[in-house]
Amino acid sequence: MKNILTGDRPTGRLHLGHYFGSLKQRVELQDQYNTYIIIADVQALTDNFDDPDKVRKNVREVALDNLAVGIDPNKTTLFIQSQIPEIAELTIFYSNLVTVSRLFRNPTTKAEVNQKKQVFGNEGESITYGFLGYPVSQAADITAFDADLVPVGDDQLPHIEQTREIVRKFNHIYGETLVEPEAMVGKNSRIKGLDGNEKMGKSLGNAIYLADDEDAITKKIMGAITDPNKIKKDDPANPDICMVYYYHKLVNEKNVDTVCQECKSGSRGCVACKKELIRSMMEFLKPIQARRHYYEEHPELVDQILEEGTKKARERAQETMRRVRQNMKIDYFKN
Ligand code: ATP
Ligand code: MG
């Protein structure tokens, strides 16, 4: 069986963007692949090092969200990054194979730095060594498990490319050691935010969370951006610039053609349209929230899943590390 490595940063609960961008594929693929899901707390700390409570709390939330969408711990290995020291070890060796200017050219890193500048002003410009280097650490996450495939949203493509470059360079210098992974992006590789922003993101405040209750969903959808030229209820409108229509396409597939036609012809008011979306959204979230609720009620089960998953993941990473040590000629003592 081939291997998959994918995961999330524990910086907040997971949202619709994660679901359509990555979680849905993970659940579908877990039967055909050896799947490893990393809760990337080390990566989350690169830009949240001053808030360890936030990261710790969200390790649990992210685990719950994965289990809630149908990740089956009997098929999939769910683990915590910081507890696998081999990943940190690999990161150090990979650092030699990447130039600083190459890291600065990474478009996703650039976008994230710009986003921080908007929030923190010029302070956002002073990025750390750790943050600049997180794609190197991500290369270690992926290769430690000999991942063949990495299902991700399209913001991750530059990072996967960086990983492939590291693998090629490593294998060229030290001999065939690492597996070169491929990214897998689904058709919904970038879900937009409620504010119309190109990316729904945990750090952007524009998300519909998988765990949101009906009140929260209602508030968010009632406030979503619609066609600004539609003033009266029966004005015809353009669904293509309406966020409500955009989410109908995701969670109300069976009725989306009617929504589109009625919007264009002016026979559907925005309030009614939003109410229908709220109902469809709650219907879509119902089974996810029921599973989440079950695991929330059984915290010891979640602890056990994480502990066993981390132990199994560590054994797998140790195997890779043995190969790496041998080929880098740093296997001084036989163990
Ligand atoms: P942060 O802002 O802290 O980086 P995030 O919302 O970007 O949080 P991550 O944990 O970085 O979430 O991403 C986890 C996975 O979900 C990645 O594969 C990423 O590409 C995917 N993803 C995140 N947001 C979206 C989105 N809006 N659409 C599609 N995929 C997404
Ligand atoms: Mg991200």
Encode pLDDT of 225-250 as tens digits.
Answer: 899 999 998 999 999 999 999 999 99
Residue nearest to atom 26 of ligand 1 (CA): 17
The whole-angstrom separation of Cα 76 and Cα 63 is 12
What string of DSSP letters covers 123-138?
A: GGG---HHHHTHHHHH
The whole-angstrom separation of Cα 59 and Cα 65 is 10
The whole-angstrom separation of Cα 333 and Cα 266 is 76
Q: How confident is the model at residue 267 (pLDDT cuts 50, 70, 90)?
A: very high
Q: What is the mean pLDDT of residues 306-332?
A: 98
User: How many A from CA of 147 to the centre of ligand 1?
Assistant: 19
What was the pLDDT predicted at 117?
Answer: 76
Domain 212-292 of CATH type 1.10.240.10: yes
| Tens digits of residue pLDDT in 176-205 | 999 999 999 988 889 999 988 889 988 788
State the burial class of residue 266 (Cβ atoms within 10 Å of its Cβ: 0-12, 13-18, 19+).
middle
User: How many A from CA of 323 to the centre of ligand 2?
Assistant: 31
The whole-angstrom separation of Cα 331 and Cα 310 is 24
Q: What is the mean pLDDT of residues 67-83?
A: 98
Let me know how many helices (H) and strands (E) the chain has, helices first.
15, 5
Q: Which residues line ligand 1 (CB under 6 A)?
A: 8-9, 11, 17-18, 21-22, 152-153, 155-156, 189-191, 199-203
The mean pLDDT value of the chain amounts to 95
Q: How confident is the model at residue 335 (pLDDT cuts 50, 70, 90)?
A: low
What was the pLDDT predicted at 125?
Answer: 63
Return the sign of the alpha-carbon dihedral for residues 331, 135, 160, 6: positive
| Tens digits of residue pLDDT in 113-127 | 888 777 666 665 678
The whole-angstrom separation of Cα 323 and Cα 139 is 16
The whole-angstrom separation of Cα 35 and Cα 71 is 10
The whole-angstrom separation of Cα 266 and Cα 244 is 15
Query: Which two tokens mark 259?
Result: 């929504």
3-state helix, strand, coil split of the chain in percent (to 5) is 60, 5, 30
Q: Cα torsion for 19, 293, 304, 32, to the nearest 10°?
A: -40
| Tens digits of residue pLDDT in 269-291 | 999 999 999 999 999 999 999 99
Residue 139, pLDDT > 90, answer yes
Domain with CATH 3.40.50.620 in the chain: 3-191+299-327
Cβ pair 221, 281 in contact under 8 A: yes
Pocket test residue of 4, 18, 25 for ligand 1, highest count of atoms within 8 A of CB: 18
Residue 52 CA, distance from chain mean position: 20
What was the pLDDT predicted at 293?
Answer: 98
Residue nearest to atom 21 of ligand 1 (CA): 153
Of 81-85, 90-94, 187-191, 262-266, give the lowest mean pLDDT range.
187-191
| Tens digits of residue pLDDT in 4-30 | 999 999 999 999 999 999 999 999 999
Cβ pair 28, 75 in contact under 8 A: no
Instruction: Calculate the alpha carbon distances from 255 to 22, 69, 109 in Å.
Output: 24, 23, 39
- CATH annotation of 3-191+299-327: 3.40.50.620
What was the pLDDT predicted at 122?
Answer: 67
Cβ pair 271, 230 in contact under 8 A: no
What was the pLDDT predicted at 258?
Answer: 96
Specify the ligand 1 atom closest to the Cα of 189. Answer: 29
What was the pLDDT predicted at 118?
Answer: 72
Query: Which two tokens mark 225?
Result: 């951006």
Cβ pair 210, 16 in contact under 8 A: yes
Residue 36, pLDDT > 80, answer yes
Helix axes 299-327, 52-69, angle to 10 degrees: 100
Q: Percent of the chain, pLDDT > 70?
A: 98
